[in-house]
Amino acid sequence: MRRLGLIDSRCSHEEFYRNAGIALGKADLEEWMKVSSSGSYDRNYDFQYSSVDRAIVTSVSWRSWPLEVELRWLLPRLANRLQRVPPEERYLVEIGAGPGAAAAIASAVLDVPVIATDAHPSTLGMAEQLSMRTQGNAISRVLDALDVSTVFHDAPPAAIFGLGVFRYVVRHNHKSRVFSYSGSAANFMKQPPSEAAVEFFRSISPSDLLLAEQMCEDYLGEIASAALKANYFFTAAGVERLYHQIPGEDSSCVCVHLTCEESEKSPRPPVELLAGELPPVAEGLNVDGLQAEIMRSLLTPVEQLETQEIQWKDESGTLRREFFRYETLFGCYRASDVGFRELQLVSRHDESKLRREIADDEARVAPSERTRRRVIATPSPLW
């Protein structure tokens, strides 16, 4: 990455644009600012890919830290796939490669040819120029991701990878307000998948597919719907959320590894894989986010005590809260339809104490004059 001369994206907007002005010159920076403010993807891409120097600053540098984080996850897995095919068949393909920075780096690190594909015509020849800087071997091709199989050699590649482009293959239909990511993902998996996405998976078989994608949790269900129909599976260690930075803000992506190898298929649903290793169920447990949702779904059977729904009158969100007993523990699980998840477990001797703490917290964040409350009968695994 150092050979590409990137600007570190772990900085403020002001610092990034100051460094971009030094690298590009004042005229190019002013033009880029105008193009960026237009909100037009086409104008942005036309500017970014009009020269390698512009692409390095405006496209690659803007997400240089995400690129490094994602490659650290990706490269060992690609290396493993390459070792599974004969030497004469070892090559990789990137979809949605843009100027081909990831392909140029991967080819240099892994000492393997990489075909960098992208739909924008101006990207042709860029991967080759970046490869000269990294001392790699990447070749650019202009085509849509759905046509990627047209660049395959006599045998399919060991693996195909993409960074932030798979939403163009499987277009996500996320319903922004859900109480259960796993439930929403399961519903996506029950729906008929996009036939174009299914055909994409079939066209790349049996190559492994590795992705780094900005996504919400239930998008995994939509990917799985198409993948499973084409006999692709999530691997056991193949779903992970990574955190990084672009100028002025934190960012994250979900990395996934899909394979046709039945022996590597995970028995766990992809959303559960994303939750990672779960802490032990014990007194004093207090977890939030996706781990809270998954852990609550695994606690069975429970003695249901009370479930309440709190709805903000301005329709900004709805919170559901559940009290229950599990073995020797008393628990409270809360989830909102705008992303909040929390699970707390205490000894049954501390039940009244936790109830008071929850009541005090709800009085603070959800005062009666701003909310409506009602008792509901549905336990959280069915939300």
What letter does residue 275 receive in the DSSP assignment? T
Could you read off the pLDDT of 246-288 as tens digits, one per residue? 999 999 999 999 999 999 999 999 999 999 999 999 999 999 9
Q: What was the pLDDT predicted at 289?
A: 96
Coil vs helix vs strand at 326? strand
Q: Are 155 and 117 in contact (CB under 8 A)?
A: no
Average pLDDT over the chain reads 95
Yes or no: say if 235 and 265 are a contact pair by the CB < 8 Å rule.
yes
pLDDT band at 171 (very low <50, low <70, confident <90, very high): confident
pLDDT of residue 336: 97
Looking at residue 39, what is its pLDDT?
86
The answer to whether residues 166 and 213 touch, using CB atoms and an 8 Å cutoff, is: yes
Q: What is the pLDDT of residues 325-379, one digit of tens each?
A: 999 999 999 999 999 999 999 999 999 999 999 999 999 999 999 999 999 999 9
Which domains, ranges and CATH numbers included, belong to the chain? 61-274 (3.40.50.150), 286-382 (no CATH)
List pLDDT tens digits, range 36-79: 999 899 999 999 999 999 999 999 999 999 999 999 999 999 99
Q: Which residues lie closer than 8 Å to 8 by C-beta, 6 or more apart?
A: 61, 64, 65
Q: Helix, strand, coil: what percent of the chain each, to 5? A: 45, 25, 30
Contacts with 12 (C-beta within 8 Å, 6 or more apart), sequence order: 247, 248
Tens digits of per-residue pLDDT, 74-126?
999 999 999 999 998 999 999 999 999 999 999 999 999 999 999 999 999 99
Model's pTM, two decimal places?
Answer: 0.92
